[in-house]
Amino acid sequence: MNAKAKILIVDDEEVVRLSFVRILAGAHCDVQAIAGWLQVSQLAQQEPFDLVLLDLRMPDTDGITVLKAIKQRWPESEVIVITGYGTLETAKQAMELGAYDYLLKPVGPEQVLEACKAALQHKRWALHNEPSPVTKPTGGRFS
């Protein structure tokens, strides 16, 4: 993974945040983990993140609302939705709103790393206005 990649983890469950931080710690990237919408709205004033791992169910708002806000504020940020409550409806909605991938919990470390690497590579290609040689992963995503 890119040594300078900035990754934001948004999940209300501390154990999930810590798990994703641990998985990504060895990938030489700058990882920040937060619990919900209030913190996302505060971070929106800062530089954009390259990648956001986003939960759909949080106590203060739903992930679709957060996804819309992220894509409005940071349109070039890639977003991977990771949820334990996946539905075809939310998968379709997330992808239409610009999510790069949609994974179902529980996800293993390899699946998280693979999805993150693919999303970051896609972003690099998109910024160069060239077609991406990487196809979107289909791991836990609804088709």
Ordered by start, the domain boundaries in the chain are 6-127
Q: 37: pLDDT confidence band, cut at 50, 70 and 90?
A: confident
Residue 5 pLDDT > 60: yes
8 A C-beta contact, residue 136 and residue 123: no
Query: Which sign does the torsion angle of CA 76, 77, 78, 80 carry?
Result: negative
pLDDT for residue 116: 97
Structure tokens at 83: 């949820």
Task: Report which of residues 60 and 86 the model is more confident about.
Answer: 86
Residue 39 pLDDT > 70: yes
Topology, domain 6-127: Rossmann fold (3.40.50)
Q: 96-142: per-residue pLDDT in tens? A: 999 999 999 999 999 999 999 999 999 988 777 555 455 555 454 43
28 backbone φψ class: left, alpha, beta (φ>0; ψ -120 to 50): left
Which residue's entry shows tokens 């469950």?
Answer: 13
Q: Are strands 51-54 and 6-10 parallel, antiparallel or unpaired?
A: parallel
Least confident of 32-41, 55-64, 126-135: 126-135
Least confident of 40-49, 78-87, 127-136: 127-136
Rounded to two decimals, what is the model's pTM? 0.86
Say how far apart CA 109 and CA 95 lie, in whole Å. Answer: 22
